[in-house]
Structure formats: C-alpha cells, structure tokens
Amino acid sequence: MGASPSWSVFCADDALAFTEELSAVGDLRLRIAESDLRAVGDDVSWAPATLHELDGSVSAVCSRTALRRAVTTLAHDNLEARVGHEIEFTLFGGNVAEQWSAYGLGAALAQEQFVRDLLVNAERAQLNIEQFHAEYGPGQFEISLAPDSPLEAADNLIVARILICRTARSHGMAASFSPMPVVGGSGNGAHQHISLTRSGEPILSGGRRDHGMSEAGASAVGGLLAHLADLGAVLASSPLSGLRLQPDTWSGAFICWGHENREAAVRFCAESIGNPHGANVEVKVMDSSANPYLATAVILGAMHAGIAGALSLPPEVSVNPSGLSEVERAACSVTRMPTEMGEMLQRLRRSTVAQSVIGGAIIDAVVAVKELEHSRYSELDASVLVERLRYAWSA
C-alpha cells in the first residue's frame, strides 16, 4: 500500500507538521505481516505493517521496526522482555453515566451486553483479555491484556482498541481513549507492565535486592527512573496529557518507585501467589496518545541502559509522594514528571536512550508534531480542548 512520508507527522487533530524530510514529496510502502492477520468482525481483518522505502529498505521512521531493534538489542545481552498492556477508556452515549458506581458490579452489568460482545470479538481476534472491569470515572472501563513479547503485545494493543471502538459503535456508543475525556473527570491511562529475563532467568525476582530483585533487575529499574523524564515526549505529551498527569490521581506524576505504589511513576509488582506472571514493573505515566511501539521501545531502552551502566536503584517510596516534603523527596530522588512541552522536547532531543533506540528521524518527527500541537492548542481553554480531542485516539 502506498504511504506518503507525511503520515509520520500527523497531529492529534489531523494537522500536518511537515518537515524537510517528511512532506508531500516522495512515497513509501506499507507491507503487512500476513501471518499476523486478525479478524475484527464483519469479514474485516487487520494486520500490522512495516514502513518501507521504494527501494525496499525499511524506513527510518517505521515505529514497529524501532521496537524490533530494541528487542534485538536486548537479545544481544541475553535479555528477553514480556509486556502486558492496560487500556483505560470511557464510553459516551446511552445511559452510561446514569448507572455508574466506581469499580462497581452494577456499572459493569449496566453494560453487560457490550462487555459480552467485546469478549466474544476478542476471542475471535485471538486477543487474550485477562481482566475487564469498571473503572473510577463514569463510563470508564479498564482492560488488561495478557503479557506477550514486546512486538506482539503492541500489536495486541492496537487490535484491542479497534475492537473496543467497533463494539461500542454497535451498541450506539463511542469509546474515548483520551488522556482527559471530561474536564475535571478521570483520566485514561495506558499503563505498561514489563518483566525481564536473562538467559531464561527472571531478573526482577529471585535476587537479594529490594523485594527480591537481582542486581541486574535493580539496575533496570534504576535506568528506567533515571531516563523517564527524558522520555515524556514519547510516553505522554498530547495537549491533554498534562491534565491527567497530576498528583493524587494514580497517574504516576512523581518519578519514583514503590512496591504496589499506584502514585509512583514506576509501580513494582513483586512475585507472589496473586501475581501469576511473576515480578514486573508497571509504568504508569503512559497514556493512549502515545505510539505503543515507540513507547515500549524507549522503556526497554531505558531499562537496558540501566543494566549496561549498572545504575543504582534510588530509595523506595512506600507512601504517596505528594505528601512528602521537598527535603524528603530529595532524599529519595523524587521529582515531578515533566508536563511543560518545551522542557519535554528539549529532554527528548538530548536523550541518549531515545537517540540509540528510536533514532534521530523519529525524534525529529515527534518534535515537529508536538511543537505544532502546542502552538495550536496551548492557549485554548481546557473545556474546548477536551471536547475537540475527545475521540482523537479512537479507531
């Protein structure tokens, strides 16, 4: 399939952030992976694709290839990752908000047929949903996908979002993945759970460090924390992301880690009977405005950089970091996740992890898009912005 180079610089509102390299001039090709074809209903199928130049070489702005490179880099160090995605979304239409109780059974039963149909559609598409429950905000649900290899996990995330939107439409509703679908309401996150093994042995459990981490596992978490602020432009930088990424909202607004700490940017989930897939870390800052291939790539790159550099693990934060004093935060190396666009883009440009993992061409595209979005929306009232971009990330 033909693809304009400009496809890599579409903004959330479909404006184009042209660059010299990514403009109306030139042509590319999308080549689907036919072996990964998924049925999404009504004789419609979806397959992931790789972006190629006309000479057959892979394009430098192919995000799926960037993730594949990150996985290969890990493999060269005998490391293998598993990734599990969580998807929060909000339904609009019908009587969703009228019959809502946070995390309640009644909220789920009020949408019982939607839930049943989505599970049937997921099974047909070979999508393994592990959990499906009502979330906090009116009309808000969360789906947890089973862990898989990084590339397949990102593919699964795309399939899930397609199915959620198709199923919602069939019930006269619309699904929003917006980081902030309603002014003053509950934000939608897109958390990632990551586990790592080296030569087949888990590095986030079975060791002598905090909560069973090995030395390599502690360094992996240390690397993630050390580089997280530099990667915000990839993980959560839409015009609405900053509205979600606030303290006391379980969004990970503070860069720190803690065992089962939902206010920390990195929540550590230790190996336990209640955690059948083993120890993993949950990156809470990501939302659905992020490209999942790029987001996973930079997260894995940060963890690998931590291992390669034997980075230290900061002290654990076992309380809500917003309640700590500035002195207490400094003692635990706790900082706020950046939300100001200028700072985020400056950090991304100089990030050694981003340069090595996703490359300069993709960074330039991300920067161009974010700069144009910021220029178009930074002065808008939140209520207007939320309304305008509510379905920007829906399929």
List pLDDT tens digits, range 131-155.
Answer: 999 999 999 999 999 999 999 999 9
pLDDT of residue 81: 99
- What is the Cα–Cα distance from 84 to 196, expressed in whole angstroms? 12
Domain borders along the chain are 2-388
- Rounded to 5 degrees, φ, ψ at 200 are 85, -5
Give the Cα separation of 162 and 149 in Å (integer). 20
Tokens representing 54 are: 């006309």
Dist CA 128 CA 302 (whole Å) = 27
- The tens digit of pLDDT for each residue in 261-312 reads 999 999 999 999 888 899 999 999 999 999 999 999 999 999 999 999 999 9
Residue 204 near residue 217 (C-beta atoms within 8 A): yes
Question: What single letter denotes the amino acid at residue 97?
Answer: A
pLDDT at 271: 93
pLDDT in tens, 317-337: 999 999 999 999 999 999 999
Instruction: Give the residue among 315, 347, 320, 343 at the shortest CA–CA distance from 330.
Output: 315
Sign of the C-alpha dihedral computed for residues 52, 190, 299 and 271 taken in this order: negative
pLDDT for 276: 87
In percent, how much of the chain has pLDDT > 90?
96
Asked if residue 38 lies in contact with residue 125, where contact means CB atoms within 8 angstroms, the answer is: yes
Average pLDDT over residues 12-34: 95
pLDDT digits (tens, 9 = 90+) for 153-170: 999 999 999 999 999 999
Q: Is 11 exposed, middle or buried (0-12, 13-18, 19+ CB in 10 A)?
A: buried
pLDDT at 39 over 70: yes
Residue 41 confidence (pLDDT): 93
Q: Is the pLDDT of residue 187 over 80?
A: yes
Residue 219 φ/ψ, nearest 5 degrees? -70, -35
In the block, residue with structure tokens 């336990």? 272
- What confidence score (pLDDT) does residue 170 get? 97
Pair 161, 218: CB distance under 8 Å: no
Q: E-strand spans in the chain?
A: 2-3, 28-32, 38-41, 44-46, 49-52, 79-92, 129-134, 140-145, 174-176, 192-198, 201-202, 254-259, 264-269, 280-283, 335-336
Cα–Cα distance, 306 to 298 (Å, whole number): 12
- State yes or no: pLDDT of 233 exceeds 80: yes
- Going by pLDDT thresholds of 50, 70 and 90, the confidence category of residue 59 is very high
- Could you give the CA distance from residue 278 to residue 218 in angstroms, rounded to a whole number? 15
pLDDT, residue 94, reads: 76
Burial (CB count <10 Å: 0-12, 13-18, 19+), residue 153: buried
What pLDDT band is residue 97 in, cutting at 50, 70 and 90? Answer: low
The letter for the amino acid at 219 is S
The DSSP element (H or E) to which 253 belongs, if any, is: none
pTM more than 0.95: yes
CATH number for the domain running over 2-388: 3.30.590.10
